[in-house]
Structure 1
Amino acid sequence: MVIAFLGIVGTLASGLMTQRLAEKVKSKELDHSEQQRAEERQYETKRATVEALRTCYITLNTASLDYHSELNHFWHALRDGRVTDDLRSRLDDARREHRARYSEAQMRVPDDVLATVDRVHRGLNWMYGVFKRLDSGFPPHLEGESLEEVHTEIVAFWDQLSEMRQIMRRSIGVPPDTDQL
Structure 2
Amino acid sequence: MAQTWLPLLVAVVGVIGTLSAALMTQIRADRVKLLEIDSLRGQHAEDRAHDERMRALELADAREQRAAAHRAEAHARLRACCIAFNTAARHYQTAQISVLHGLRAGVGVNECVEALEEARTAFRASYAEAQMLLPDPVLAAASEVSRRLNDDYGALKRSLTDAPRNPAPPECEQRVQSAWTVLTDLRRTMRRDLRIDDPAP
TM-score after normalising by structure 2? 0.80
- Tell me which residue corresponds to 1:155: 177
Deviation string, structure 1 residues 48-103 (Cα, Å, up to 9, x no partner): 11110000000000011111111000011123333533222110000001111111
Aligned match of 2:189 = 167
- Superposed CA RMSD: 1.8
Superposed counterparts of 1:37-116, under 5 Å: 37-116=62-141
Cα pair 1:57 1:168 within 8 Å, conserved: yes
Find the partner of 1:19 among 44, 50, 55: 44
Amino acid at match of 1:68: Q
In the alignment, structure 1 residue 117 sits paired with structure 2 residue 142: yes
Contact 1:79 1:147 in 2 (8 A): no
The answer to whether the Cα contact below 8 Å between 1:120 and 1:161 also exists between their aligned partners in 2 is yes
For 1:12, the aligned partner's letter is I
Gap runs ≥5 in structure 2? 1-25
TM-score normalized by structure 1?
0.88
Contact 2:88-2:122 at 8 Å conserved across structures? yes
1:9 is matched with: 34
Aligned length: 172
Is 1:132–2:154 an aligned residue pair? no
- Matched residues, percent identical? 27
Segments ≥4 residues shifted beyond 4 Å:
none
Deviation at 1:41, TM superposition (A): 0.8
Q: Deviations over 1:117-168 (max 9, x none)?
A: 11111111111111112212369xxxxxx62112212222211111100001
Question: Over alpha carbons, which structure has the higher Rg?
Answer: 2
